Chain A
């Protein structure tokens, strides 16, 4: 019933909250929200709210990249955020969000993994980026990706003693973000493309596409949803993402 209502609105060129089809809800980013983490951030897109924390530990590099550290992204879809989530280990939805965020950071080389090397072939830093949605009002993907970026931006390295982390002790050395890839998620309802869907639009949507861009280049994409896109729709979504990149970069820059 509700889906039909959303669809009829879209057919009239309207959205529930009055936004234009290519308009975001209000976005805000706040950092340093959790003291014990090496880095943290809260990202809000409309009423969707996500907390992201970065913790570090020492690990062994993969043998095919002995001079590099790595990141591990996890999403916990706790029932605190939505009546639709259940307790339990990360399911498909949580896994997908984590992997999309991971790809955006990894493929754009936003963090230079070589700078995470401690001792070549033996020890390296592993960044654990953990994403906790607090309220799901749609578009957890973009809120998570933005939150992760903001958290990384204010992350300081943990203290290392004898190659072991001294938990609770931080250095002043900050993580440098080489790039700031921004993720844009669109949904397709009937034949219209909408940017930044809220929950009711997500439920009424047939297909979904997330695109991570940095300086006009595409670094990651993920299509979701039961229906498909045409080539021209894909081109249109990329154009919007590239156009709006600057606006969202400003949000990240403001967050210190």
Chain B
């Protein structure tokens, strides 16, 4: 089934409009907002801080604990508040996506808590959450070897596209959704999931497309981080 035009007029390799802001939650040690199209994710980081109960502590490194949650009003049909199997899984893959750039060995016996809240959803929520969380971790002053950006790529009908929106995810003739996260410097894949049907070549093509998209997201993340302290040179 041929997919000839995207509903919002975008090119197949074009992202929706992206924007980011750092420092939006004052109480948190670090925080950020990331928006792509109509999807909005906010992230807050608390830590490193003491981890209770004691038996959860890891004497060799900090525990990274991510919690992804969708606000009940973020979607068209109300989502019951509280965790679901889906949010548990997304929390897990988010943690894995971020762990590789953090030097957790620097803070044994502590916890770094990352809370992600989706306040408006139009597909690509887990990726937006990861992009927001990476900025929040940097804002919290936690040493990071690299930044992480995430985007969804996939196949809609017969075309490989980047940044699928809800319409495309639900495409009647079939769509394959591939959320990917890449580190900025080494382009290592730290998040990779897939549901649908693609050939190997299509997958590799999609990953190449994701590289480009993540580069774009990364430059927006960098700008948002530098904005917070633009003229702080007399300190």
Cβ-defined contact, B197 with A219, below 8 A: yes
B67 to chain A, nearest CB (A): 11
Tally B residues with Cβ within 8 Å of A.
32
Cβ-defined contact, B190 with A228, below 8 A: yes
User: Which listed residue, A107, A222, A231, touches B187 by the CB 8 Å rule?
Assistant: A231
Q: In this complex, what residue of B is CB-closest to A222?
A: B193
Bound form: Cα–Cα A229–B188 in Å: 6
Bound form: Cα–Cα A207–B187 in Å: 15
Known: A216-B199, A235-B200. A223 touches B188 (CB 8 A): no
Determine the chain B residues whose CB is within 8 A of the CB of A216 once the complex forms: 199-200
Determine the chain A residues whose CB is within 8 A of the CB of B92 once the complex forms: 92, 95-96, 224
CB-contacts of B90-107 with A (<8 A): 91-93, 96, 99-100
Known: A218-B197, A228-B183, A242-B200. A234 touches B100 (CB 8 A): no
Bound form: Cα–Cα A223–B94 in Å: 11
CB-contacts of A203-232 with B (<8 A): 206-207, 209, 216-231
Bound form: Cα–Cα A218–B188 in Å: 21
Bound form: Cα–Cα A106–B199 in Å: 17
CB-contacts of B183-235 with A (<8 A): 183, 186-200, 203-204, 207-208
Interface presence of A108 (CB below 8 A): yes
Cβ-defined contact, A230 with B200, below 8 A: no
Q: A221-B192, A234-B207 are in contact. List 6 more A-B contacts (CB 8 A).
A: A95-B88, A207-B100, A218-B198, A228-B183, A234-B203, A242-B200
Pick the 10 closest A-B CB pairs, nearest first.
Answer: A228-B188, A221-B194, A223-B192, A226-B99, A228-B190, A107-B195, A229-B189, A227-B100, A95-B88, A238-B200
